[in-house]
Amino acid sequence: MQIGPYRLDNPVILAPMAGVTDRPFRILCKRLGAGLAVSEMLSSNPRVWNSRKSRQRMDHLGEPGIRSVQIAGADPELMAQAARVNVDNGAQIIDINMGCPAKKVNKKLAGSALMQDPSLVARILEAVVNAVDVPVTLKMRTGWAPEHRNAVMIAKLAEQAGIQALAVHGRTRACMYKGEAEYQTIAAVKQAVTIPVIANGDIISPEKAKQVLEQTQADAIMIGRAAQGNPWLFGQINHYLETGERLNPPPKQDVTQVMKEHLENLYRFYGEHLGVRIARKHVGWYANNHTDAATFRRDFNRLESASAQMAAIDHF
């Protein structure tokens, strides 16, 4: 798959997720097979750019592969400014967030709320595309509500504005993450435009990845929540798409090694105090499919030092 001048190694992409796809997780997922890893969204409001959280979201130091940064907002001028700042900081692709269903984002008329206002969408897309010399992509949903699915119209606006790839989550904003993703709208988007289309939503296995690619005829797939605690999914999907064979789950020693590597990078990136706290949710996801996971999570969440967390992983 090609996005502007950039050719992806494979068609399996890590979705941007606030509080999840930080630099340590992106690097890990790329190493384990993600063809592209999109950063967590950064607000277009310049007043928050000097906060610790925003500075860390803008940090791509030493990050391998193509650097794709997602921005969120509802003001065309501020979105254009945010795009320029992130390109100056090393972004090679700018992604526009029009898929987030969170209330705190939508009440500012950003995220998926933008799908209610196609004229504003067009102004934002044109402003961002004209502001930078790197490819601009768009992540959206199928519409605002099931009775208001307008993804095909928005996709055509995006193509006209110069957007170079679209990622479509197979739910409306009203659906949040409930129920099952529907892929008919993604297929309709793919038929309506000539730019690459990425299918997103409920892709949790190699078999489901192949099914969604065939059903939608999309150019790539995007993995979100299914990658939490399972970064091996990218390599498993790639292997299945190439060979039709399913890889065995990683052996316990590999799982332990990856968990420890991930935690060490979190401590290094955030500092031990904050890194220990952020590690808790990731380790909780890693432990989900293991026996006694609930007991382990409860005990692990009480640990207050990096050394205690690492020892607990070895013991578990």
Q: Please list the active-site residues.
A: 100
Distance CA 91, CA 68 (A): 6
Distance CA 139, CA 141 (A): 7
- Identify which of 73, 89, 174, 87 has the alpha carbon closest to the alpha carbon of residue 125: 73
271-275: Cβ within 8 A, 24+ apart:
272/305, 272/306, 275/306
Residue 160's identity, in one-letter code, is Q
CA quadruple 156, 222, 270, 280: dihedral sign: positive
Could you write out the three-class secondary structure of 11-48?
CEEECCCCCCCCHHHHHHHHHCCCCEEECCCEECCHHH
Count Cα atoms within 13 angstroms, Cβ side, for 19: 10
- DSSP state at residue 302: T
Contact assessment for residue 160 and residue 189, using Cβ atoms and an 8 Å cutoff: no
Distance CA 103, CA 107 (A): 6
Quickly count helices (H) and strands (E) in the chain. Answer: 13, 13
Here the tokens at position 69 are 């940064």
For tokens 């309709």, the residue is 188
Ranges of H-type helices in 180-289: 184-192, 206-216, 233-243, 252-270, 272-286
2: part of which helix (H) or strand (E)?
Answer: strand 2-3
